[in-house]
Structure 1
């Protein structure tokens, strides 16, 4: 990992904590989020030149606090300033930026539930939370939603304004209010973990700090709701997936497909914890998509070798998952499972008429290339591998797909 990528990970981890501190002090989430973004930009510019401060979080709190005060005092922020002065926020929460009230706490979970407020549509809540809590860029969020970046930017901006207009206080909601926000909270954590485990862009296959933060927050939600089967299912899914992380890359950082991974490098403790969680959760019900995905991950992780994977069970589970979730990416996984059970032609048949959201996605072409390869259709496989390589922003994936295309083309020649 480069120094720049390490800095990016640090800023991404600190951002929601700093937003939480400023929102608790000043009572204005939208203004705090804007101020923190400016402070992050300043840090990204100054720290590589001047050196990283001894207390990075304190530096960000101070700089973002000054930015926020400047906003409050500006003509554009007059209404916001008048609301604060009028007493909508208690006086002890209007401390000067140098005050240390709340600075040692971690408000990330509170911020997570704030962004998932029912005043927002589920899609808007998830997008806003990915930006403010997950630290994902607008482009990364747009790719997760399969929409244009400009569309996602507008959605996030509108969501921030709705949170501001709602006047909702910055505090953890009462337990009775959790169910109304839980679906969005879990979806956000799921997407943040996915971006950490399989980065959608850049030179690194994984963004380990991002996936670990998603696991940390999911553990916190599980502690709040220990009997919720879907929360347990999501945590199990993350642990069972993260367990394979050390084997996903080779010595030079190259991508290693699941079937080729050295399973002795998998984290046995995470596998055991994940299996125990999903085993206990499934009987509690009702069964939801995270539990089913965790069950699929458990089948993979419990197989001693790739050849001993119980593909018929996995295919049956994907059939259940398809009834519970409308995520178009499920079709790709089901196509692979179908190919492993009924042959590659059957898998390719599932992809013959894909939903429009998949037709431009690199994973669609990568899966189709793999199935063409298994079917012995090298020319079609090479073409799809090359298309997939052009459409991914992840350099390790791009390298893997291009290399596979070159190897097949050479074998064909």
Structure 2
């Protein structure tokens, strides 16, 4: 299958699924019918050519597959009779963009966050169960079971394929943005494995966020999230370097040491324009603040030109909105850059005293790495080396572990 056909199928899959769910209901069966239609297209289009209206073609095949699946369900004879009234008719491509409604359905509050992520990647992203399992570090069988249970939970919850009402729109959209943010972060720094970045996940998160932004172009946090992803992804090529001895051996390159000529200028321009367009029009939310921080980094031609005092203020603002451990640790780094490592250590000690960042299993690795860096800057190489090794033992990412151990090795 050619890359063009593969991209086309992945782009059209959510619209086809939306058309089937809107017509028939039965999310689980509709998703199966879409997969059958995509399989048929992957087998016929490369040889016979892409039809003039690929979406209509896919919907028509999906309708037929849906009819077959409904016929197989003896308990749904009434719905079968209604659905098969004219099974040979050519289903037109829907004029309505179902992207937002489909994303909202996959991020239904009845599902856990893990299930929301998996179902979004499967139904909207078009990733295979095997691809999603790899991203989550589990088996295809386990992930298949998780996705099937998510579909069953939607059915039991009585979830409907309907646009959000004014009363629950913000809550539902917030759930979608959280899921897309999680997908992007897992791709940008994989929690496990031999690669620092999972490009398939970051690209999919950006594609889906573009889809969401097209549905809600004036939503400030959706715009902020897309800007954040673009500005962050712009640095991807410079985050790793190849070993001189092994072209398959990648090493992590910290922000201050990155070759900024390798940053994606087009992504930076697009992301900066997006965040500038919403910055003073609405009260800033967490994604807008993170995008603003990324934009400050992107605006600096050299590490020395980075406006660290401004970044420290933005992180303080962000901490007040989302008082999470990653945000607090990022503020420590910004304060150390702006006002010196001793000031950063004092802030870290205070945060540990009040929030126990050094005891939380979810944040201990990052806390150890940050403290090690600050100890190195304040002239304690022995303590820094010990903490770098401790942080290395707490990460499942091979590239990150190698970087931390290398830092420790240089200090003795």
The correspondence of residues 249-264 of structure 1 with structure 2, limited to 5 A, is 249-251=240-242, 252=247, 253-264=250-261
Q: How far is 1:244 from its partner?
A: 1.1
RMSD (CA atoms): 4.8
Q: How far is 1:328 from its partner?
A: 2.5
Matched, 1:286 2:289: no
CA distance in structure 1 between the partners assigned to 2:157 and 2:85 by the alignment: 20
CA distance in structure 1 between the partners assigned to 2:84 and 2:375 by the alignment: 64
Aligned to 1:297: 294
Aligned to 1:147: none
The correspondence of residues 13-412 of structure 1 with structure 2, limited to 5 A, is 23=21, 27-31=25-29, 79=75, 81=76, 84-85=79-80, 87=82, 109-117=100-108, 125=116, 128-129=119-120, 132-133=123-124, 135=127, 137=132, 159-170=150-161, 178-251=169-242, 252=247, 253-340=250-337, 341-343=339-341, 344-349=344-349, 350-351=351-352, 353-354=356-357, 357-359=360-362, 362-405=365-408, 407-408=409-410, 411-412=411-412
CA distance in structure 1 between the partners assigned to 2:385 and 2:62 by the alignment: 50
CA distance in structure 1 between the partners assigned to 2:9 and 2:254 by the alignment: 30
Further displaced range: 216-225 or 288-297:
216-225
CA distance in structure 2 between the partners assigned to 1:238 and 1:106 by the alignment: 23
Q: How far is 1:255 from its partner?
A: 1.7
Q: How far is 1:115 from its partner?
A: 1.3
Q: How far is 1:191 from its partner?
A: 1.5
Query: Residues 186 and 360 from structure 1, CA distance in 2 versus in 1: closer, same or farther, beyond 3 angstroms?
Result: closer
In structure 1, the residue corresponding to 2:283 is in which secondary structure? coil
CA deviations on 1:18-61 (whole Å, 9 max, x unpaired) are 86677567632235567999999x9xxxx9xxxxx879x99x99
CA distance in structure 2 between the partners assigned to 1:23 and 1:390 by the alignment: 47
The gaps in structure 1 that reach 5 residues or longer are 1-8, 48-52, 144-150
Residue-pair matches, total: 386
Query: Residues 204 and 245 from structure 1, CA distance in 2 versus in 1: closer, same or farther, beyond 3 angstroms?
Result: same
Query: What's the TM-score, normalizing by structure 2?
Result: 0.72
Query: Residues 72 and 86 from structure 1, CA distance in 2 versus in 1: closer, same or farther, beyond 3 angstroms?
Result: closer
Is the 8 Å Cα contact of residues 358 and 364 (structure 2) preserved in structure 1? no
Further displaced range: 159-168 or 238-247:
159-168
Is the 8 Å Cα contact of residues 13 and 210 (structure 1) preserved in structure 2? no
CA distance in structure 2 between the partners assigned to 1:13 and 1:358 by the alignment: 39
Query: Residues 114 and 370 from structure 1, CA distance in 2 versus in 1: closer, same or farther, beyond 3 angstroms?
Result: same
Query: Residues 215 and 159 from structure 1, CA distance in 2 versus in 1: closer, same or farther, beyond 3 angstroms?
Result: same
The gaps in structure 2 that reach 5 residues or longer are 1-6
Query: Residues 347 and 31 from structure 1, CA distance in 2 versus in 1: closer, same or farther, beyond 3 angstroms?
Result: farther
In structure 2, the residue corresponding to 1:254 is in which secondary structure? strand
CA deviations on 1:172-200 (whole Å, 9 max, x unpaired) are 55788643411011111211222222222
Query: What's the TM-score, normalizing by structure 1?
Result: 0.72
Q: How far is 1:215 from its partner?
A: 1.9
Query: Residues 307 and 283 from structure 1, CA distance in 2 versus in 1: closer, same or farther, beyond 3 angstroms?
Result: same
Larger radius of gyration: 2
